Amino acid sequence: MNILTDSERLAELDAEQLHRLVGLVEHDDARDPFPVTGWDAVVWAVGNATQAALVFQAVYGMELIAYSGPETGNRDHQAYVLRSGAVRFELRGAVDPDSPVADHHRAHGDGVVDIALEVPDVDRCIAHARAQGATVLVEPHDESDEHGTLRSAAIATYGETRHTLVDRSRYTGPYRPGYVARSSTVVRPEAAPVRLFQALDHVVGNVELGRMDEWVDFYHRIMGFSNMAEFVGDDIATEYSALMSKVVASGNHRVKFPLNEPSPGRRKSQIDEFLEFHRGPGAQHLALATGDILTTVDVLRARGVQFLETPAAYYEDPELRARIGEVRVPVSELQSRGILVDRDEDGYLLQIFTKPLGDRPTVFFEFIERHGSLGFGKGNFKALFEAIEREQERRGNV
């Protein structure tokens, strides 16, 4: 059983820290038809990867580790590989105007093209996925360079998103064959924390109206994932907006995919807005785990990151005060930063959401600090909806 991925080992995370950060559980790979070790990388297509890579370094404190582009023989696009703890992002921007990266960007805007997963056995996963009816986009194959051999394949998921499956067990290079090691030119300010987030907690997918259960079934059937307890139905809705949400997770709970579909409301919901501007299903938000959300928010805010505002009423609501109980800091510390709290039978979590990262009202980040809770902030959905709707109203998309 593989407890840690290479990137987690590199980030000097241990199983105990991961348990605390992302709610990792024990799991027996041998009985799993599609064992998943953990996240490999999130691949983005953006309008300008050169600039985006600078922002991810200078603002989000990520470290540049690898590069591919014309200088390395890739005439199609540039790709910058960035790391923060165990989180790995690859940012792709088209060099050739006819690049598929440009097509993806034209259709969907800045966003996620690939949620790559590390697996111990690519062929076993693909054989199972194919037998269950998955669309295999890339057949299992080896790529080699002086650092060894990397085996991978890819299957299609919602929209134009894919899951590349990667076996790194015979590869020691910085990322993949075809990429060269590259280090940051951005200098971290002396007093700044080494990193602002350590691990990827979950990636949320927005899918079409009425198709959430199909995608839940996809993750059950194709990838052997199981449902986590959290379920959001019509009951959680504001006057205007509603969504339906279920969560599927890999056996070890390292990889968690909440899936949302819109639920008809009086006005256009945030999921409808996403689907309209993203031109179809896609990754809505990535939750980044931090051990100190207060510092993360303070640093990011000072660097210009904008977060969703939380109404003062949220913190003053006696029901909320009673529901959240004791947390590690006074509620005033959370209120001054707009950090949300949710509690369940296992503990609590602190979370906050950024505004959309790109020009379209689509993908955004969540920062999450878990204290035992394995949830996703269900209790905050209503407060969050109301905050998002205020933003939607400002954009004129209601």
371 annotated as a binding-site residue: no
Nearer to Fe ion, 105 or 285 (CB): 285
CA distance 43 to 180: 17
Q: Please count the residues of this chain forming the interface with Fe ion, following the rule CB under 5 A.
A: 3
Q: Does residue 366 belong to the site contacting Fe ion (CB under 5 A)?
A: yes
**Segment contacting Fe ion by CB under 5 A, of 4-12, 24-32, 241-249, 279-287:** 279-287
Nearer to Fe ion, 78 or 250 (CB): 250
Binding characters for Fe ion, 308-347, by CB under 5 A (x = yes): ----------------------------------------
19 annotated as a binding-site residue: no
Nearer to Fe ion, 32 or 344 (CB): 344
Site for Fe ion in 376-395 (CB under 5 A): 376
Provide the minimum distance between the beta carbon of 132 and Fe ion in the complex, in angstroms, as a whole number: 27
CA distance 31 to 310: 44
Nearer to Fe ion, 182 or 285 (CB): 285
Provide the minimum distance between the beta carbon of 228 and Fe ion in the complex, in angstroms, as a whole number: 12
**Segment contacting Fe ion by CB under 5 A, of 97-105, 238-246, 270-278, 365-373:** 365-373
Q: Does residue 236 belong to the site contacting Fe ion (CB under 5 A)?
A: no
Residue 297, CA distances (Å) to 197, 304, 305, 338, 389 in order: 11, 10, 9, 9, 22
DSSP 325-373: ---SS-HHHHHTTT-EEEEETTEEEEEEEBPPSSSSS--EEEEEEEEB-
Provide the minimum distance between the beta carbon of 368 and Fe ion in the complex, in angstroms, as a whole number: 7
190 annotated as a binding-site residue: no
Of the candidate residues 228, 287, 300, 320, the single one contacting Fe ion (CB under 5 A): 287
Provide the minimum distance between the beta carbon of 86 and Fe ion in the complex, in angstroms, as a whole number: 18
Nearer to Fe ion, 261 or 366 (CB): 366
Residue 53, CA distances (Å) to 58, 270, 325 in order: 9, 28, 40
Q: Which residues contact 11 (CB under 8 A, 6 or more apart)?
A: 83, 85, 86, 198, 199
Provide the minimum distance between the beta carbon of 44 and Fe ion in the complex, in angstroms, as a whole number: 18
Which residue, among 279, 284, 275, 385, has the nearest Cα to 340 in the 3D structure? 385
Provide the minimum distance between the beta carbon of 108 and Fe ion in the complex, in angstroms, as a whole number: 20
φ, ψ dihedrals at 101, nearest 5°: -65, -40
Nearer to Fe ion, 171 or 367 (CB): 367
Provide the minimum distance between the beta carbon of 351 and Fe ion in the complex, in angstroms, as a whole number: 7
Helices (H), the chain: 6-10, 15-22, 49-58, 100-108, 122-131, 212-221, 270-278, 293-302, 312-316, 318-324, 331-335, 381-395
CA distance 45 to 59: 19
CA distance 380 to 230: 13
Strand, helix or coil for residue 225: coil
Provide the minimum distance between the beta carbon of 300 and Fe ion in the complex, in angstroms, as a whole number: 17
Nearer to Fe ion, 182 or 246 (CB): 246
Which residue, among 389, 369, 98, 116, has the nearest Cα to 242 in the 3D structure? 389
Provide the minimum distance between the beta carbon of 366 and Fe ion in the complex, in angstroms, as a whole number: 4
- Positive or negative: CA dihedral 233, 234, 235, 241: positive
Task: Assign residue 330 a region (left: φ > 0; alpha: ψ between -120 and 50; beta: otherwise).
Answer: beta
- The amino acid that residue 152 corresponds to is S
Nearer to Fe ion, 167 or 366 (CB): 366
Nearer to Fe ion, 6 or 366 (CB): 366
- Positive or negative: CA dihedral 209, 210, 214, 220: positive
**Segment contacting Fe ion by CB under 5 A, of 216-224, 269-277, 323-331, 374-382:** 374-382
**Binding site, annotated residues:** 202, 285, 366
Site of interaction with Fe ion (CB under 5 A): 287, 366, 376
**Binding site, annotated residues for Fe cation:** 202, 285, 366
